[in-house]
Amino acid sequence: MDVAEICADLVKIRSENPPGGTIEVIEYIEHFLDTIGIRGLVTRNRDDRCNLVVNSPENRLLLCGHVDVVPALADGWTHDPCSGDIDDEFVWGRGSTDMKGGCASVLHALRQLADVGAEPRVNLAFVCDEETGGEFGVRYLLSRNLLTPCDCVIAEPTPPLSPSIGQKGLCRLRLDFSGEPGHGSLYPHIGVSAVMEAFDLLEYMKLLNARTFSGDEALLAIIDDSAEVLEDIFGLSGIGEALRRITFNPGRIEGGEKANIIAQECMLELDIRIPWGCSVEHLMASIAAQAVRATITPINMAAPSFTPAGSEIVAVTCREIERVMGCPSHPIVQWAASDARYLRKAGFDVLEYGPGDLHSLHAIDERVPISQLESAAAVYRGIIGHYSLPDAAHRGT
């Protein structure tokens, strides 16, 4: 079985989140690891939200990946979202890029090492619930001391030559606006519309988006490089500014009672991504000052984070990418968020590196290039090999 077939098997096993059940895909991974002599601990939470963890405190490397995927409607897909179809170039289906492809490359690397008699000194975490905040996944494992802080690679999709060493912060909020109802024919002369209060906040968010933040001094050059990579990926000039600005998405809004009634209630779910140099506390205070008629409920909060570019895990990963790909590798920072924020807060040095077609992430016709599955597995083998050497061999790295 090659890496594309492993990826296809994982894609065929449904694990949409919501609802979040991952028992079947974790059982597949548990059996796979068992056949190569690696025994893992399976944790099971409500609604079959399961994780698999291998943790030896003496190991200096953790390989991590999430097995839940975002839902997909079959409408518009060239290949069914759960098909796991394989052609000459891609494995197709929901989760192939985000991130069952990365998990498949980790598993393939481990089996290749086992086939040559190597004993990888590596911890593993295949987790649920990344797509909805990690309460039953990484956060659960950390809260129960099932993961020992060490260097970590999360197999999230990245550009092939660019491991990600940092992510913007995250501020996900629910705002419940209250208005003063009245007859709609007299608005805005009388009453207060909760719907318009929500739209006023969104106009304020546009003003916040116009401001550029300078960020951490150690990251200035990396942010510049990352902006160029982002623009190259999406082919859009100026999109790299998203790394230096507050970006926001009003993902869900509903309110009002009837067209001719001034809205008494309006609910807004708002996703905000926070650049380096922006204080989460100051941002929250400014939103609260603007949305005086709203009750604000934080859903998920995290400051921007990064792993120093000079750390061992960054140096080793870039070296292995250059060895496999034959081209220079440079770290970047990312515009999105991941489980890395929880692991960094717990004392891990974390980067992300993995296979994927970033254009199709969370999109119709999600797919992963088979060539990237293979090259990522080769990079992981090299990283595992480095961290499996006796401790003395690491000195001077």
| Per-residue pLDDT tens digits for 283-311 | 999 999 999 999 999 999 999 999 999 99
Give residue for tokens 């942010």: 223
- pLDDT-derived band at 391, boundaries 50, 70, 90: low
* Cα→Cα distances 92→44, 285, 362, Å: 29, 44, 12
Q: Which of 341, 164, 335, 157 is nearest to 244 (CA)?
A: 335
CATH topology for 169-211+246-302?
A: Alpha-Beta Plaits (3.30.70)
Rounded average pLDDT over 213-231: 89
What is the spatial distance between Cα 388 and Cα 9, in angstroms, rounded to a whole number? 29
Same topology, domains 3-167+305-394 and 169-211+246-302? Answer is: no
Confidence of residue 218 (pLDDT cuts 50, 70, 90): confident
Q: Is 351 exposed, middle or buried (0-12, 13-18, 19+ CB in 10 A)?
A: buried
**Once rounded to an integer, what is the mean pLDDT over residues 19-41?**
97
Identify the CA nearest to 169 among candidates 211, 137, 201, 215.
215
CATH superfamily of 3-167+305-394: Zn peptidases (3.40.630.10)
The pLDDT assigned to 336 comes to 87
375's tokens: 């090259």
What is the per-residue pLDDT across 325-345, written as a single tens digit (0 to 9) for each?
999 999 999 998 899 999 999
Tell me the C-alpha distance between 252 and 172, whole Å. 12
Mean of per-residue pLDDT scores for the chain: 95
Chain segment 110-135, per-residue pLDDT in tens: 999 999 999 999 999 999 999 988 99
Percent of the chain with pLDDT over 70: 98
* Model pLDDT for residues 81-90, shown as the tens digit of each residue: 999 999 999 9
Q: How many CB atoms lie within 10 A of CB 3?
A: 26
- List phi, psi (to 5°) of 247: -110, 155
Which pTM value belongs to this model?
0.91
The domain locations on the chain are: 3-167+305-394, 169-211+246-302
